[in-house]
């Protein structure tokens, strides 16, 4: 796989010098904000502060869109409650049904077919992770129809995503049988939310977000995420995430917002002026601090990870315009080796059998460590 970030950046940002700032960690951007949706249902129904959904609802009304491609988890009668489905939301109500983060594989690129073959004369918006956005921008280069029919691209910040083994591991921790599951929610309830399972008999079981993400995400991360260098969704018009900062944890329901293109900046400013979004500008340092772990792993340690993987005979992606020439440090090599060992061990079938027994112990240990170090989260 190849991603020519240099070329894609030129396509997106170098037209009329369309960006105000460029930074190694944050990427190209116009403005950095902290904020939330004004509508309290959207704010507290969202994974973070509902800004993504509030902006998309505004886009449907004001940009004259035919809809927004979003995703929601299937319920058991629609297929597997472990699977996410992509659908076209045509109004606010349908957008709200897709709120919250899905930490599982989401086939967003399946909507390209509908846009190209059924989208004549129509206008859409698109939401996706950094990998989805790269796919979209690459496709837009060769399919002009796609580019002209998508008028707004909202990108989610992303540390990593799991494969199905991760969700099954959470079922094991909750002592739930997969066949009894009706519905899965990864970020239900108040921020930062819970992994919540609704059973066939209507009962629910949950685990707190910070507890389970402390190790499950790392062990069961999808292969594609191992080689990701783009946690902050560099190619979107607007990127949204969680401001993971201790000093903000007293205010549940907040988004980090990065406007990247002029289109994104104008749209957000307009939403602030009209009162659909409440947001204030923030500094680059806060953005970087709030995503410190992901940025270190994906912008720096990744080079060591890719180098070792290559030597082990794995094929790794080719990226252009993502890394500087700085030599890889021993610390980066050491951490990459630890990750590779953890992932290799967690891929063994015997591990999946043993792990649920150790999972609660592990979460307890991580909680103790967090309390001892005063850290809110370990991402």
Quote the tokens at residue 336.
Answer: 């990459």
Query: Which of 9, 27, 67, 100 is in the footprint of ligand FAD by CB under 6 A?
Result: 100
Residue 379 near ligand FAD by CB under 6 A: yes
Per DSSP, the three-state class of 336 is helix
Classify residue 301 by its DSSP letter: I
- Closer of 264 and 328 to ligand FAD (Cβ): 264
Residue 167 near ligand FAD by CB under 6 A: no
Q: Count of residues binding ligand FAD (CB under 6 A)?
A: 36
Classify residue 100 by its DSSP letter: S
Q: At which residue do the structure tokens 């979107």 appear?
A: 236
Per DSSP, the three-state class of 280 is strand
Instruction: Find the part of the chain contacting ligand FAD (CB under 6 A) among 92-100, 143-151, 197-205, 361-369.
Output: 92-100
Instruction: Find the part of the chain contacting ligand FAD (CB under 6 A) among 49-57, 134-142, 268-276, 349-357.
Output: 49-57
Kindly compute the dihedral angle of the four CA atoms of residues 131, 132, 137, 139, in this order, to the nearest 10 degrees: 110
Shortest Cβ 167–ligand FAD spacing (Å): 12
Per-residue string for binding with ligand FAD, 67-86, x by CB under 6 A? Answer: ---xx---------------
Shortest Cβ 10–ligand FAD spacing (Å): 25
Total count of residues recorded for the chain: 379
Q: At which residue do the structure tokens 């049904």 appear?
A: 97
Residue 193 near ligand FAD by CB under 6 A: no
Instruction: Find the part of the chain contacting ligand FAD (CB under 6 A) among 1-9, 133-141, 202-210, 238-246.
Output: 238-246
CA distances from 191 to 46, 208, 217, 248, 256 (A): 9, 10, 18, 12, 14
Residue 48 near ligand FAD by CB under 6 A: yes
Q: What is the CB-side half-sphere exposure of residue 285 using CA atoms within 13 A?
A: 0
Shortest Cβ 310–ligand FAD spacing (Å): 26
Query: Which of 242, 245, 301, 319 is in the footprint of ligand FAD by CB under 6 A?
Result: 242
Give the Cα separation of 29 and 23 in Å (integer): 8
Shortest Cβ 38–ligand FAD spacing (Å): 13
Give the Cα separation of 261 and 238 in Å (integer): 7
| Those residues with Cβ within 8 angstroms of residue 23's Cβ, 6 or more apart along the chain or in another chain | 29, 284
- Closer of 99 and 346 to ligand FAD (Cβ): 99
Shortest Cβ 92–ligand FAD spacing (Å): 11
Per DSSP, the three-state class of 323 is coil
Shortest Cβ 244–ligand FAD spacing (Å): 6
């Amino acid at each position: 796989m190849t991603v020519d970030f240099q070329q894609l950046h030129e396509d997106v940002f170098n037209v009329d010098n369309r960006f105000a700032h460029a930074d190694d960690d944050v990427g190209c951007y116009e403005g950095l904000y902290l904020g939330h949706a004004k509508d309290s249902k959207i704010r507290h129904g969202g994974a973070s502060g509902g800004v993504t959904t509030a902006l998309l609802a505004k886009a449907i009304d004001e940009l004259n869109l035919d809809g927004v491609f979003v995703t929601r988890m299937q319920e058991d009668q629609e297929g597997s409650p472990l699977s996410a489905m992509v659908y076209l939301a045509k109004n606010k109500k349908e957008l709200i049904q897709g709120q919250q983060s899905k930490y599982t594989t989401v086939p967003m690129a399946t909507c390209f077919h509908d846009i190209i073959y059924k989208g004549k004369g129509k206008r859409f918006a698109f939401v996706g992770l950094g990998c989805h956005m790269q796919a979209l921008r690459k496709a837009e280069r060769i399919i002009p129809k796609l580019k002209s029919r998508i008028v707004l691209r909202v990108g989610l910040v992303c540390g990593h995503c799991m494969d199905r083994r991760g969700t099954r591991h959470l079922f094991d921790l909750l002592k739930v049988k997969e066949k009894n599951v009706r519905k899965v929610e990864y970020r239900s309830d108040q921020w930062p939310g819970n992994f919540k399972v609704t059973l066939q008999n209507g009962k629910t079981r949950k685990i707190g977000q910070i507890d389970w993400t402390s190790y499950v995400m790392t062990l069961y991360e999808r292969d594609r995420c191992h080689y990701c260098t783009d946690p902050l969704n560099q190619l979107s018009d607007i990127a949204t995430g969680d401001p993971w900062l201790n000093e903000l944890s007293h205010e549940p329901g907040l988004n980090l917002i990065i406007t990247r293109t002029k289109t994104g900046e104008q749209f957000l400013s307009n939403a602030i002026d009209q009162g659909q979004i409440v947001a204030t500008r923030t500094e680059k340092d806060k953005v970087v601090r709030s995503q410190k772990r992901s940025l270190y792993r994906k912008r720096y340690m990744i080079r060591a990870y890719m180098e070792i993987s290559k030597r082990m005979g794995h094929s790794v992606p080719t990226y252009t315009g993502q890394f500087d020439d700085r030599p890889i440090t021993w610390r980066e090599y050491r951490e990459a080796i630890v990750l590779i060992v953890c992932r290799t061990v967690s891929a063994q079938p015997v591990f999946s059998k043993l792990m649920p027994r150790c999972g609660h112990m592990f979460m307890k240990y991580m909680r103790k460590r967090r309390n001892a170090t005063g850290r809110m989260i370990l991402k």
